[in-house]
Amino acid sequence: MLGKIMLVSSYVLSAENSANKFASRREDIKKFTDKYTALYVSDKNRPRIELKAGEIMKSGLKFMDACHIACAIFAGCGYFLSVDSRLLKFKTDEVKIMNPVDFILELEMIL
């Protein structure tokens, strides 16, 4: 965990954000991800992402949620942060899924 924290974004987040009915939120999210994304998982990886998402969906997660996690796994992320209670219930050894507050508390303990 020591070292740099990098934001990973994906075609899944871009698609989900483009469907956001609130223009100001949509624009703010796009500006934020455009400015801070260090690694982007593109739709060129879609077949592998969706294959992994299919495995994840067996746990009961919906397609888009499973795709978000699959992108994080594909990118080699150590952590996946979310406030979505359904996502937070999913467990895997491939990426640690946490809410942002718990992540910061864990980060403080490490540093």
Long-range interactions of 20-27: CB distance < 8 A, separation 24+: none
Total-model pTM: 0.90
pLDDT of residue 1: 42
Minimal CA–CA distance to 79: which of 44, 68, 49, 56? 68
Does residue 110 register a pLDDT over 90?
no
**Distance between CA 103 and CA 79 in Å, rounded?**
8
Domain 7-110 of CATH type 1.10.3470: no
Cβ atoms < 10 Å from Cβ of 16: 15
Mean pLDDT of 54-63: 97
Token pair in block for residue 45: 């990886």
pLDDT of residue 6: 94
Does residue 62 register a pLDDT over 90?
yes
Beta-carbon contacts of 26 under 8 Å, excluding residues fewer than 6 positions away, are 17, 18, 20
Q: Amino acid letter at 75? A: A
Which tens digit of pLDDT belongs to each residue from 79-104? 999 999 999 999 999 999 999 999 99
With tokens 């500006």, the residue in question is 31
pLDDT of residue 3: 64
